[in-house]
Structure 1
Amino acid sequence: MTLTADLYFSFRSPYSFLAVGRYRALAEEYAVDIALRPVYPLAIRQPDFFERNHPNWMAYTIRDMMRVAQFHGIAFGPPRPDPIVQNPATREIAADQPYIRRVTRVGQAAARRGKGLAFAHEAGQLIWGGQEGWHEGDHLAGALARAGLDAQEIEAEVAAQAQELDAEIAANQDALEAAGHWGVPTLVFDGEPFFGQDRIEMAQWRMEQKGLARR
């Protein structure tokens, strides 16, 4: 028996990246199909989020994400460029967001083909692995190829179906909230949400209670 789960994921979320490779490994080792459900980050959905945070929030988050990466042996570095165009001094979010919209739409197109988890991991390694200019040249095409996808086909679909893909991405966010959470990464299994990169072992424990077995 193969179990199923949904992973709600943002390409701008460092914790989503720190979780996705481990969820990919789980799905490869065990009989569970994890469907990627990309969502737009808080910077798009709530542009004033960062302006409202406690002054210590950013410094602690940076410290913690680096610590998590070191603990799990995950190559990690600041994105170059940031998927979100933002004023670093004021934290104001720009109206035009070409990077995050493109990569999220590509992720949704990959998810349509059941390859979203693999693409999110491959693209995440570019964005959060310190690849300068990850959005340029054939970097994302390479990530698509490594995920087993036809890059030319995906890019053509993204160009032609931006509105349809955005509607699916919005539906993902609605489904996440209907499942009982709002943030990422959140895995939803059997109607139960597991929020955070530190809930992977607990999600696996719950799956084992439902008959999770090695492939």
Structure 2
Amino acid sequence: MSLSYDLYWSFRSPYSYMVVPRLIALEAEYDVVCNVKPVYPLAVRTPEFFETRDPLWVSYFMKDVFREAAFLGLPFRWPRPDPVQQANGSYRVPQPHIHRLTHLGVAAVERGRGLAFLKEASHTIWSGEVENWHEGDHLARAAGRAGLDFAEMAEAVDADPDRYAAVVEENQLEQRAAGHWGVPMMVFGGEPFFGQDRFDQMVWRMRQQGLAARAA
């Protein structure tokens, strides 16, 4: 019997970008299924979280993300543009990029290619290999690499944004009910594993529950 886990994931989270290659490798090698549940980033859900942080939080975070990417051997640069918009240091402004990105993630999940789209889109956004990831055909090419028809998917998202927003809201409620609010967060057997650095612990727990190699 396949094991399964839920993945709460944000397009604005560098750590979410960093965990995806390991999740894909896990699914390729073992009989396990990832249930992708895209959520909006904290900067959009609860902007006050960042307004009350100690200044050292930001300086440490910016050191750590570059160090962690180098440790994992992943190309990394802060996105240009940032998926979340700011004005005068505040996130309380319209957010055209992150809402559409997250809704596209939901659409990819509904088409059975959720994890593949997360990998390709986040690489486009975070690797530093693409300028202005939101323009031209960058996202369309990412979707194509993930086995998706971007034009069809984007048309569906743009035609009914309220439905996709409702799915994201439900994911966010489920995430908190599962025990945390941050991303990436994996939930296996009712147990939350918050942070890309908890990947190995999740696999350890899966082995205790009979994780088996995927049949050739």
Q: If the TM-score is normalised by the length of the shorter chain, which range does it land in?
A: over 0.9
Is contact 2:9–2:36 with CA below 8 Å preserved after alignment?
yes
Residue 192 of structure 2 aligns to a residue whose secondary structure is: strand
Is contact 1:115–1:147 with CA below 8 Å preserved after alignment?
yes
Shift of 1:52: 1.0
Identify which of 101, 106, 109 aligns with 2:107. 109
- For residues 36 and 139 of structure 1, the distance between their equivalents in structure 2, rounded to whole angstroms, comes to 22
The answer to whether 1:84 aligns with 2:81 is: no
The letter of the residue matching 1:105 is H
Task: Give 1:99-138 correspondences, 5 Å limit.
Answer: 99-130=97-128, 131-138=130-137
Shift of 1:209: 1.0
- For residues 63 and 176 of structure 1, the distance between their equivalents in structure 2, rounded to whole angstroms, comes to 27
The letter of the residue matching 1:58 is V
- For residues 104 and 21 of structure 1, the distance between their equivalents in structure 2, rounded to whole angstroms, comes to 19
Is contact 1:17–1:128 with CA below 8 Å preserved after alignment?
yes
Residue 52 of structure 2 is matched in structure 1 by 52
- For residues 126 and 59 of structure 1, the distance between their equivalents in structure 2, rounded to whole angstroms, comes to 25
The answer to whether 1:167 aligns with 2:180 is: no
Is contact 1:35–1:114 with CA below 8 Å preserved after alignment?
no
- For residues 98 and 24 of structure 1, the distance between their equivalents in structure 2, rounded to whole angstroms, comes to 28
Is contact 1:179–1:193 with CA below 8 Å preserved after alignment?
yes
The Cα offsets for residues 52-94 of structure 1, whole Å up to 9 and x where unpaired, read as 110111110011111111111011111000001113xx42114
- For residues 82 and 209 of structure 1, the distance between their equivalents in structure 2, rounded to whole angstroms, comes to 40
Residue 72 of structure 1 is matched in structure 2 by 72
- For residues 65 and 200 of structure 1, the distance between their equivalents in structure 2, rounded to whole angstroms, comes to 16
Shift of 1:95: 2.1
Question: Structure 1 stretches of 5 or more lacking a match?
Answer: none
Residue 186 of structure 1 is matched in structure 2 by 185
Is contact 2:86–2:93 with CA below 8 Å preserved after alignment?
no
Instruction: State the aligned residue count.
Output: 213
Shift of 1:49: 2.1
Scaled by the length of structure 2, what TM-score is found?
A: 0.96
- For residues 52 and 124 of structure 1, the distance between their equivalents in structure 2, rounded to whole angstroms, comes to 28
Is contact 1:85–1:93 with CA below 8 Å preserved after alignment?
yes
The letter of the residue matching 1:184 is V
Instruction: Give the fraction of aligned pairs with identical amino acids, expressed as a percent.
Output: 53
Root-mean-square deviation (Å): 1.0
Is contact 1:78–1:128 with CA below 8 Å preserved after alignment?
yes
Question: Structure 2 stretches of 5 or more lacking a match?
Answer: none
Residue 56 of structure 1 aligns to a residue whose secondary structure is: helix
- For residues 20 and 94 of structure 1, the distance between their equivalents in structure 2, rounded to whole angstroms, comes to 29
The Cα offsets for residues 176-204 of structure 1, whole Å up to 9 and x where unpaired, read as 11111111100011111100010001101
Residue 86 of structure 1 aligns to a residue whose secondary structure is: coil
Is contact 1:38–1:172 with CA below 8 Å preserved after alignment?
yes
Moved over 6 A (4+): none
Residue 21 of structure 2 aligns to a residue whose secondary structure is: helix
Is contact 1:8–1:36 with CA below 8 Å preserved after alignment?
yes
